[in-house]
Amino acid sequence: MAEESKETPSETTTSAQRERVKLPPVDFTSFISELATTAFAYLGGLQDPETEEVWVDLEMAKRMIDTIDLLKAKTKGNLTAPEGNFLENTLYNLKMSYVRMANQPPPKPKAPESTDETSVEEPN
């Protein structure tokens, strides 16, 4: 017979809460950083954990950039100088990265590597 856990549900919850990392409070800069990190992930290529295939999603990157741009318009006049500078610099870097990725030619598929030297068949 399998042993049963002697912890009560409330004890399990409490131990799980103790193991959870404390997150810093959310402020405007950290919020923009989270959005920008997501956009950069879409621009820099995400790797599928199952297939290990790397892919770039320009449409989602553009959506994240547009979201940050919307926040810029909606918060105009309400940001501190450091927040405004951070927002401007972040948007500039994201937009330049987007343009680079959008103009980059798609990668060429890898040709299968052959271990044999190329041989030429002679006609009979």
Where do the structural domains in the chain lie, given as residue ranges? Answer: 25-103
Burial class (CB in 10 A: 0-12, 13-18, 19+), 75: middle
Rounded to whole angstroms, the Cα distance separating 25 from 29 reads: 11
Tokens of 123: 């006609």
User: Do the Cβ atoms of 66 and 98 come closer than 8 Å?
Assistant: no
User: Do the Cβ atoms of 67 and 32 come closer than 8 Å?
Assistant: no
Q: Does residue 90 have a pLDDT over 80? A: yes
Query: Has this prediction a pTM greater than 0.75?
Result: no
Tokens of 41: 């992930």
What pLDDT, in 10s, does the model give residues 31-50? 999 999 999 989 876 777 88
The predicted structure's pLDDT at residue 46: 73
- Higher local confidence (pLDDT), 78 or 12: 78
CA distances for 106 relative to 55, 109, 114, angstroms = 11, 9, 24
